[in-house]
Amino acid sequence: MGKLYLVPTPIGNLEDMTFRALRILKEVDLILAEDTRTTGFLLHHFQIETRMTSHHKFNEHQTVAALADRIAQGETMALVSDAGTPAISDPGFLLVRTCVERDLEVECLPGATAFVPALVNSGLPNDRFCFEGFLPQKKGRQTRLKELSEETHTMIFYESPFRLIKTLQQLGEVLGAERKASVSRELTKIYEETVRGTLPELVTHFEAHPPKGEIVLIVAGKES
């Protein structure tokens, strides 16, 4: 019987690729890539010639059954996202669930993910935390923000640089102007930056210095 591997890839610095991840990508029959162009650059860098096919949020509903059939028939596959650990705010959950339901072997390798270094760098409590990923862009956004106003654990969000200021402003309106937060961007890359302060202070900073790159927002929970 085959097997599905979930293989984390670097979120920026290619030196964060693990020896084990490289071995798996070389040994499997097929690599399922969120974007074959992005993964193609990674494979070329490490001289990996394994076949690839696309597996992303626009086709995963249609392809998971056929992929699970192929794994059941003996193929080994590695699922990768463009960066970080698959299925964390990226495609992967549907395929993993299907394989688990069919009693097919699934193994997730440890490796890069953006929110862990951002959380540790924030200086905010990290013994308990709430991972929110991306907030709803429209429908349900205000409802979710109001629900989070009672959250006592440190909260983790992924955000686009184009929406960061709006999100900081909305969080400030709902959670209060004194709520502390941290914004990490371009983690592991040459222009890596972490900015800390209250929500309004962060708004002021990023209005003066428009953000670029991938962003992780860490927000303190409500004091009990």
Tokens 């927000």 -> residue: 219
- C-alpha 69/C-alpha 91 separation (Å) is 19
pTM: 0.91
- C-alpha 56/C-alpha 66 separation (Å) is 14
Q: Region 211-224: what's the mean pLDDT?
A: 94
pLDDT tens digits for range 142-157 = 999 999 999 999 999 9
pLDDT at 1 over 90: no
- C-alpha 190/C-alpha 12 separation (Å) is 9
Mean model confidence pLDDT for the chain: 96
pLDDT for res 72: 97
pLDDT for res 190: 93
Map out the domains of the chain with their CATH numbers.
Answer: 3-108 (3.40.1010.10), 115-219 (3.30.950.10)
pLDDT for res 128: 94
- Nearest partner of 156 among 211, 209, 117, judged by Cα: 117
pLDDT tens digits for range 100-124 = 999 999 999 999 999 999 999 999 9
Q: Region 179-192: what's the mean pLDDT?
A: 96
Q: Region 161-166: what's the mean pLDDT?
A: 97
pLDDT tens digits for range 3-62 = 999 999 999 999 999 999 999 999 999 999 999 999 999 999 999 999 999 998 888 888
pLDDT for res 59: 85
Q: Count Cβ atoms below 10 Å from residue 208 Cβ, excluding itself.
A: 7
Determine which helix (DSSP H) or strand (DSSP E) holds 139, and give its type and residue range. Answer: none
pLDDT tens digits for range 54-103 = 998 888 888 999 999 999 999 999 999 999 999 998 889 999 999 999 99
As beta bridge partners, residue 71 has none
